[in-house]
């Protein structure tokens, strides 16, 4: 299966590495070009036990890649995971603007049928809005 993972923090990077390990073709996308360069070289930006091995195996097998290019990451994917940050607002609610921005990017770049999954922490009703 061809998968795009939008966001390469704890949730996104681990998800991308595991799906790649399971044999899927995975593209991890992040707007931070410095982070993408680092990940593409196998240098992790977070620590999770065993993650370094999974990323290294994914990169060397060609099943895992990283990019900042929305079009290349999303086009022709069968599954797209939204794994972007939802930082808290001063009132304690979640800032969902990154989720909606990711959804807009998916809408602009998807070229066929795909399942879109929100793995980010969001309040009830967000999926309907997306």
Cα–Cα distance between 78 and 26 in angstroms, integer? 10
pTM above 0.75, yes or no: yes
Domain boundaries, the chain: 2-129
Alpha-carbon separation of residue 57 from 25, 35, 60, 97, 106 (angstroms):
12, 19, 5, 33, 27
Give the CATH H-level superfamily of domain 2-129.
NAD(P)-binding Rossmann-like Domain (3.40.50.720)
pLDDT, one tens digit per residue, over 12-42 is: 999 999 999 999 999 999 999 999 999 999 9
Handedness of CA 26, 31, 34, 35 (dihedral sign): negative
Interval 37-53: pLDDT, tens: 999 999 999 999 999 99
């Amino acid at each position: 299966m061809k998968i795009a993972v939008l966001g390469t923090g704890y949730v996104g990077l681990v998800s991308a590495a595991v799906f790649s390990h399971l044999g899927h073709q995975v593209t991890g996308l992040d707007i931070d070009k410095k982070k993408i360069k680092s990940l593409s070289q196998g240098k992790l930006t977070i620590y999770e036990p065993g993650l370094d091995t999974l990323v290294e195996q994914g990169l060397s097998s060609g099943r895992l890649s990283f990019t900042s290019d929305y079009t290349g990451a999303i086009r022709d994917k069968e599954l797209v995971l939204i794994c972007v940050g939802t930082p808290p607002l001063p009132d304690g609610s979640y800032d969902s603007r990154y989720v909606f921005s990711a959804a807009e990017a998916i809408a602009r770049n998807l070229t066929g049928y795909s399942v879109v999954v929100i793995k980010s922490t969001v309040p009830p009703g967000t999926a309907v809005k997306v």
